[in-house]
């Protein structure tokens, strides 16, 4: 603006002021001349600014009820006719009027007597002054203010000063002059005017806002509401009642939720116009004038600064109650229209416009509700759009106010009134404590008994609280919540210093420290109250929303995901359940419901409108992608890398509590109350563990959800908070260098921990967590995701009716065992067989993982193995040692488990013999049933581990008791067993042990050299091992038990001394006698004819004859003659008695060349063989023949036999002729008799 324009503007303003003073004086003179300020006031009849037919007025509730008839309006034509023509009344000053002169002198500074506007300010600035004014003066002031706005000359003056503005504001320029409409209209548009016009309107605004009836369109729009809500009266009797006029606006503001749209809009418009200067809000000004002087003396007026200062000091003890109430009303209006908050709107006006926060497609036209505007701006920040620093500062202050003072949120005040009254000390708690009280109330009580003491939150209050938390968004900056900030600041300083204040990662850091020592109870409680709501709205987690909202839109078919109108808690689809399904197994039903059509959400959760399951949905996508599967619609791109990181973080953090898993809490609340209510202060994940332990008795929906979570836990061990807290150091210790763990593969973390859980350095708490994980996974085979993924096809084909993991393992094991023993093509694929082996090994480690075996053997464990540890296979080994005395159900099932272990995997063998397996049997192509035979071949080597050898001997003993525990023998003697031993098989039940009968049967056929080549080799090894240890010949051991104790006690004692090592007597007998001394003792006593038990003698004879076939079978003879064998028979293959015959021939031909020790022992063996041959029982014609041929008197025996046969022949010939003759004679006689 140049100098000339400024001069013109100053000239206009000078003329306007002159006219204004002149007109105001004329107005007063004109009223006096017509008797309006005299007789009418005495008569009590005043002009009514309302049109004819105005509503009958009612006083406010606090005043006595009165009724007045409306008074006709002033007739301007009559007034002008009463005045003498050509006479211009002199200007009147308010200080010179008889009605107000004395009051003005009493209350106002003499310096302002000539300025009517200054006098009005003086008289209106204090309720005490207004109360002290005479009735005449009050009415005079009212008429004066009314006429200022109605007189056409004021309109002309305004038109002169605001000419350019009126040309642009067509609404005001087209109004009829003299109706009191133009000045209120200009005031209503004051933000669009500048310069002198603005100055003039500011002066007039104080007059207009002093009485609601002077406000443009206010009475037209609000008269009905004033009457219906009993907020005052509209009539002449109230014209001079300044209290009533101010309280009407206050009443309407308090009941803004009940106003009609038109009146609500007018009230908010008034509040907007008052936002710049607190003097314009007369009620607040009167209530807070002294408070302003005490608390905000240094704050300059204008620009909403006084309001802002009063807001900040609302909870200051120095603020009066009246001021606090008016400030609260003002803050509530801000909730309806952010333009009421001058500072905020000024700072954010450009951002609101730039981001279209009040566009028609987002909110209703002209709707500037705080929630809509704040959420829109927050959405812009979260989606990395630009918001000015000034606006962000104001947003933060507003959000802090929301979390600190519930009373400024109309929805909370109205919808949560009962909850606040009953459960939150009637709102007397300050500093945000009432909000947190409501948050705590929103979390359902677990114990049904607690519900009696804790009233439930109503749905409308819950919705209001959710909306408030979404609006304040404390999850993005914990400083927005004063209660949370104060409670957690020490924790932040201790554990989260590295995170910049104000960063959303502070909350994440606090969540990560939930179980740490630095976390305080107060901080944890406040944090969980906030996280309860954050967990139920994907958008409240700032970091998650920032990195995943695009994935949520794309993968969950939520096109309006980031739009403000979908951000209200009551709007939008359930994204989370859908995305959760994406992370589950590849299911065509999931694609139909979620991946393609997206109807699953609506079908399953029709009544749930909150976005509680987005995280689960995204997690499902990650799992699918990890498994190599993607949704058909999204084949090109899965969940983004940055979103994956956040999803994993959120899933891990929310595993701490059921409260943070809405999908669990929603369906499991009843079960939590029933089974887990005794937990007064449940620790992290303890409620989940409680539900897992009672899985079989939960409600169907809860059972399904807990099952899904258990699957997730197995795939992502980080979700098991208790486990990870105890086991993280163990993972670092054992799994970083574990051969079975490839890179950073979390799938194998649990496998690694399970493999190492029995190591001495393993932490006890970690071991307990691993065992809990194992026990829970046995309830359903799907809880073990690796097992499920590896074997789901085989299970669906061969074990479709099996649910529990133990049943599935048994079913698959049976198929694998049968195919292995029959040497047929495996029906179970290789991947599944490999995982099945791991599961069988795991089951064999701890009997508690075999629920059916525990049930069958419960009493036996108590009776026989009471103090034995259940893990590390110790309980199973104890039961195996006591098989003879076990109950029938226990014995039967234990034997079945031994059969499965023999083919698929024996934990004890793998544990004890790990080093030996790696040394001697580390072949990738070696099958599980080949490991024990491999170890057996090397067990007699000097460097072989002693403990491993003992275990192998135990397993050999068990195998020789029942051939079904020896897969090698079963396969290689498959044809021989039914051919030679069918009688034994027919007399035994399938589930009963055969006590070595089949093996003994085959050993006898070995002596007879009737076995097939493969079977012969196996039996030869069996005989060789049993020659070293008589316990490996169960028939000999049981038959000669008394004889061994009676005649071979010294050998037993020697074995016991050599192998004491803390073993009990049974174990010592089983694992000792490696040199065959007990068997040798029996042979010597047999030779001396001391043994009289025929059954025992027969078994000893069998053993002697077995050794005669192969010198390698006789350990003492083989050791004594080892050099001689190498010298004379080294080129002969062992077996078929070839080397024994060679040695005997050498002894007969060159006795002196054979070593003395060997010659001496060979002589003893020849005696044994002869004695054994004599006492061998005859079982058939073949044995008779063998006995005769081997007898020295065979010729005599043959002569006797032939003589006996000859005698029978002669007698038959002689007697036969006589017998035939007699028959013929009788036949002839009978024929004659007939004739």
pLDDT at 491: 93
pLDDT (0 to 100) of residue 1193: 65
Token readout for 1031 is 């316990």
Which of 264-278, 485-499, 628-642, 892-906 bottoms out in mean pLDDT, i.e. has the lowest?
628-642
pLDDT computed for residue 1187 by the predictor: 62
Q: How far apart are CA 838 and CA 904, in angstroms?
A: 9
Q: How confident is the model at residue 800 (pLDDT cuts 50, 70, 90)?
A: confident
User: What burial class does residue 112 get, using C-beta atoms within 10 Å of its C-beta: 0-12 exposed, 13-18 middle, 19+ buried?
Assistant: middle
Spatial contact of 741 and 749, defined as CB atoms under 8 Å apart: yes
Question: Does residue 31 register a pLDDT over 60?
Answer: no
411-462 confidence digits (pLDDT tens) = 888 889 888 988 888 777 778 889 999 998 888 765 443 444 456 788 899 8
Q: C-alpha 911: how far from its chain's center?
A: 35
Q: How far is CA 250 from the centre of its chain?
A: 49
Pick the residue with more confidence: 582 or 730?
Answer: 730
Helix/strand/coil for 368: coil
Does pLDDT of 606 surpass 50? no
| 53: pLDDT strictly greater than 70 | no
Top mean pLDDT of 33-37, 777-781, 872-876, 1105-1109 is at: 872-876
Q: What gap in Å lies between CA 728 and CA 1071, rounded to an integer?
A: 40
Report residue 623's pLDDT band, with 50, 70 and 90 as the boundaries.
low
Give the distance, in angstroms, between the CA of residue 37 and the centroid of all CA atoms in the same chain.
Answer: 79
More confident of the two residues 428 and 473: 473
Q: How confident is the model at residue 151 (pLDDT cuts 50, 70, 90)?
A: low
* pLDDT for 209: 64
Q: Residue 560: what pLDDT?
A: 44
Q: Tens digits of per-residue pLDDT, 748-757?
A: 788 888 888 8
Is residue 1051 scored above 80 in pLDDT? no
pLDDT per position as a tens digit, 189-211: 777 777 778 777 777 766 666 66
Asked if the model's pLDDT at residue 396 lies above 70, the reply is yes
pLDDT band at 791, cuts 50/70/90? Answer: very high
3-state secondary structure of 574: coil
Residue 8, pLDDT > 90, answer no
Residue 1204 has pLDDT above 70, yes or no: yes
- pTM, rounded to two decimals: 0.66
Q: Greatest CA separation found in the chain? A: 194
Residue 1165 is encoded by which pair of tokens?
């063996």
Asked if the model's pLDDT at residue 854 lies above 90, the reply is yes
Greater confidence, 216 or 609?
A: 216
pLDDT the model gives residue 329: 87
The token pair at 215 is 């406000």
pLDDT attached to residue 486: 92
Tell me the CA distances in angstroms from 1187 to 126, 1170, 1172, 1178, 1179, one per residue in order.
Answer: 141, 11, 11, 8, 11
Percentage of residues in the chain with pLDDT exceeding 70?
A: 74
Going by the DSSP 8-state scheme, the letter that residue 88 receives in this structure is: -
User: What pLDDT was estimated at residue 346?
Assistant: 87
Q: Is the pLDDT of residue 492 over 90?
A: yes
Say how far apart CA 127 and CA 257 lie, in whole Å: 28
- Residue 571: burial class (beta carbons within 10 Å; 0-12, 13-18, 19+): middle
Q: What is the mean pLDDT of the chain?
A: 76
Taking residues 993-1001, report their average pLDDT.
82
Kindly report which listed range (264-273, 674-683, 960-969) carries the lowest average pLDDT score. Answer: 674-683
Tokens describing residue 391: 């606006």
Select the more confidently predicted residue: 445 or 713: 713
Residue 372 reports pLDDT greater than 90:
no
Per-residue pLDDT band for 360 (boundaries 50, 70, 90) equals low
pLDDT band at 227 (very low <50, low <70, confident <90, very high): confident
Task: Quote the pLDDT of residue 601.
Answer: 36
- Whole-number Å distance between alpha carbons of 763 and 742: 23
Q: How many residues does the chain have?
A: 1235
**pLDDT tens, residue by residue, 153-169:** 666 777 778 888 888 88
Percent of the chain exceeding pLDDT 90 equals 13
Q: Taking phi first (over 0 means left), then psi (-120 to 50 degrees means alpha), and beta for anything else, what does residue 598 get?
A: left
Locate tokens 């359902």: which residue? 444
Mean pLDDT of 485-493: 93
Question: Residue 736, by phi and psi: left (phi above 0), alpha (psi -120 to 50) or beta?
Answer: alpha
For residue 666, what pLDDT is reported? 80
* Contact indicator for 1073, 1029 with CB cutoff of 8 Å: yes
Would you state the pLDDT for residue 142? Answer: 73
What residues have CB less than 8 Å from 99, skipping those under 6 apart?
Answer: 37, 41, 134, 136, 137, 139, 140
Whether the predicted pLDDT of 89 surpasses 90: no
| 270-to-320, 339, 424, 436 alpha-carbon distances in Å | 25, 11, 34, 34
Q: What is the pLDDT of residue 456?
A: 76
């Amino acid at each position: 603006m140049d100098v000339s324009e400024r001069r013109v503007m100053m000239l206009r303003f000078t003329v306007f002021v002159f006219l204004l003073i002149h007109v105001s004086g004329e107005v007063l003179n004109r009223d006096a001349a017509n008797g309006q300020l005299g007789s009418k006031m005495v008569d009590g009849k005043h002009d009514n600014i309302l049109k004819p037919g105005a509503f009958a007025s009612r006083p406010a509730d606090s005043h006595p009820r009165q009724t007045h008839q409306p008074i006709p309006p002033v007739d301007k034509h009559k007034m002008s006719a009463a005045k003498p023509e050509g006479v211009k009344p002199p200007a009147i000053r308010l200080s010179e009027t008889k009605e107000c002169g004395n009051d003005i002198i009493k209350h106002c500074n003499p310096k302002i007597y000539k300025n009517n506007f200054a006098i009005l300010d003086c008289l209106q600035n204090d309720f005490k002054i207004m109360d002290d004014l005479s009735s005449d003066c009050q009415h005079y002031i009212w008429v004066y203010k009314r006429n200022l706005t109605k007189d056409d000359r004021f309109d002309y003056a305004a038109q002169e000063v605001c000419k350019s503005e009126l040309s642009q504001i067509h609404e005001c320029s087209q109004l009829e002059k003299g109706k009191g409409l133009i000045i209120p209209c200009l005031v209503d548009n004051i933000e669009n005017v500048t310069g002198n016009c603005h100055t003039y309107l500011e002066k007039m605004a104080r007059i207009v806002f002093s009485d609601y009836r002077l406000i443009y369109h206010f009475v037209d729009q609000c008269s009905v509401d004033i009457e219906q809500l009993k907020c005052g009266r509209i009539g002449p009797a109230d014209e001079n009642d300044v209290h009533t006029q101010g309280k009407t606006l206050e009443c309407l503001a308090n009941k803004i939720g009940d106003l009609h749209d038109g009146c609500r809009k007018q009230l908010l418009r008034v509040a907007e116009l008052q936002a710049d200067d607190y003097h314009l809000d007369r009620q607040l000004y009167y209530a807070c004038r002294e408070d302003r002087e005490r608390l905000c003396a240094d704050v300059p007026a204008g620009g909403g600064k006084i309001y802002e200062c009063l807001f900040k000091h609302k909870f200051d003890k120095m603020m009066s109650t009246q001021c606090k109430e008016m400030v609260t009303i003002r803050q509530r209006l801000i909730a309806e229209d952010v333009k009421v908050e001058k500072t905020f709107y000024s700072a954010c006006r450009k951002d609101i416009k730039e981001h279209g926060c009040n566009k028609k497609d987002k909110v209703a036209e002209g709707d500037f509700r705080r929630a809509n505007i704040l959420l829109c701006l927050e959405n812009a920040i979260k989606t990395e759009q630009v918001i000015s620093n000034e606006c962000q500062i104001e947003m933060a202050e507003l959000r802090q106010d929301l979390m600190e003072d519930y009373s400024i949120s109309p929805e909370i005040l109205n919808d949560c009134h009962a909850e606040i009254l009953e459960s939150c000390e009637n709102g007397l708690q300050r500093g945000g404590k009432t909000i947190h009280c409501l948050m705590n109330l929103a979390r359902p009580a677990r114990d049904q008994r607690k519900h009696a003491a804790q009233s439930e939150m109503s749905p409308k209050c819950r919705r209001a609280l959710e909306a408030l938390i979404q609006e304040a968004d404390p999850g993005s900056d914990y400083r927005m919540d004063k209660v949370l900030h104060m409670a957690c600041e020490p924790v932040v300083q201790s554990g989260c210093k590295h995170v910049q204040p104000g960063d959303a990662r502070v909350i994440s850091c606090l969540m990560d420290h939930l179980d740490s020592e630095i976390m305080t109870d107060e901080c944890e409680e406040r944090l969980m109250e906030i996280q309860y709501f954050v967990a139920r709205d994907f958008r409240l987690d700032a970091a998650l929303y920032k990195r995943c909202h695009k994935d949520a839109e794309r993968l969950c078919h939520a096109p309006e995901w980031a739009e403000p109108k979908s951000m209200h808690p009551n709007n939008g689809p359930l994204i989370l359940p859908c995305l959760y399904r994406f992370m589950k197994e590849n299911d065509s039903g999931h694609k139909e419901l979620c991946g393609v059509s997206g109807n699953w959400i609506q079908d399953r959760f029709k009544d749930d409108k909150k976005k509680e399951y987005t995280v689960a949905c995204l997690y499902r996508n990650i799992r699918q992608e990890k498994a190599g599967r993607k949704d058909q619609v999204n084949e090109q791109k899965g969940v983004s890398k940055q979103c994956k990181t956040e999803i994993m973080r959120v899933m891990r953090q929310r595993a701490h509590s059921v409260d943070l898993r809405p999908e669990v809490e929603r369906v499991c609340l009843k079960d939590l109350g029933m089974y887990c209510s005794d937990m007064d202060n449940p620790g992290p994940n303890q409620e989940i563990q409680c539900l897992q332990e009672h899985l079989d008795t939960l409600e169907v929906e809860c059972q399904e959800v807990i099952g899904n979570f258990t699957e997730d836990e197995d795939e992502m061990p980080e979700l098991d908070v208790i486990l990870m807290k105890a086991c993280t150091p163990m993972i670092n210790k054992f799994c970083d260098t574990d051969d079975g763990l490839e890179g950073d593969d979390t799938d194998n973390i649990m496998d690694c921990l399970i493999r190492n859980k029995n190591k001495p350095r393993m932490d006890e708490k970690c071991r307990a967590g691993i065992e809990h994980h194992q026990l829970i996974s046995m309830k359903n085979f799907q809880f073990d995701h690796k097992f499920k993924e590896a074997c789901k096809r085989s299970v669906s084909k061969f074990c479709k009716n099996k649910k529990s993991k133990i049943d599935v393992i048994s079913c698959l094991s049976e198929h694998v065992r049968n195919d292995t023993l029959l040497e047929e093509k495996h029906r179970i694929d290789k991947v599944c067989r490999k995982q099945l082996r791991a599961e069988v090994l795991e089951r064999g480690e701890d009997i508690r993982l075999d629920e059916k075996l525990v049930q069958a053997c419960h009493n036996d464990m108590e009776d026989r193995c009471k103090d034995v540890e259940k893990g590390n296979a110790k309980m199973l080994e104890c039961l195996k040692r006591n098989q003879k005395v076990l109950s029938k159900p226990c014995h039967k099932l234990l034997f079945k488990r031994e059969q499965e272990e023999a083919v698929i995997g024996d934990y004890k063998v793998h544990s004890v013999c790990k080093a030996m397996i790696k040394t001697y049997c580390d072949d990738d192509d070696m099958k599980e049933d080949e490991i024990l035979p491999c170890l057996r071949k090397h067990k007699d080597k000097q460097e072989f581990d002693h403990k491993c050898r003992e275990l192998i001997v135990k397993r050999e003993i068990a195998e020789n008791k029942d051939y079904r525990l020896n897969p090698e023998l079963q396969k290689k003697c498959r044809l021989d067993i039914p051919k030679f031993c069918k009688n034994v098989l027919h007399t035994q039940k399938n589930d009963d042990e055969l006590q070595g009968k089949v093996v003994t049967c085959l050993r006898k056929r070995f002596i007879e050299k009737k076995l097939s080549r493969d079977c012969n080799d196996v039996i030869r090894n069996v005989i060789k091992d049993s020659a070293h240890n008589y316990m490996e010949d169960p028939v000999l051991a049981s038959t000669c038990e008394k004889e061994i104790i009676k005649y071979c006690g010294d050998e037993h004692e020697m074995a016991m001394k050599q192998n004491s090592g803390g073993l009990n007597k049974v174990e010592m007998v089983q694992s000792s006698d490696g040199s065959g001394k007990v068997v040798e003792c029996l042979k010597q006593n047999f030779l001396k004819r001391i043994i009289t038990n025929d059954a025992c003698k027969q078994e000893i004879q069998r053993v002697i004859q077995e050794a005669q076939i192969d010198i390698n079978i006789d350990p003492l003879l083989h050791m004594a003659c080892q050099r001689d064998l190498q010298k004379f028979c080294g080129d002969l293959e062992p077996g078929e008695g070839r080397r024994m015959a060679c040695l005997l021939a050498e002894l007969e031909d060159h006795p002196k060349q054979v070593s003395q020790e060997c010659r001496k022992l060979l002589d003893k063996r020849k005696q044994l063989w002869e004695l054994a041959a004599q006492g061998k029982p005859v079982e058939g014609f073949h044995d008779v023949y063998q006995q005769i041929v081997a007898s020295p008197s065979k010729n005599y025996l043959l002569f006797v036999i032939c003589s006996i046969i000859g005698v029978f022949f002669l007698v038959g010939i002689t007697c036969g002729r006589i017998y035939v003759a007699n028959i013929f004679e009788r036949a002839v006689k009978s024929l004659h008799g007939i004739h």
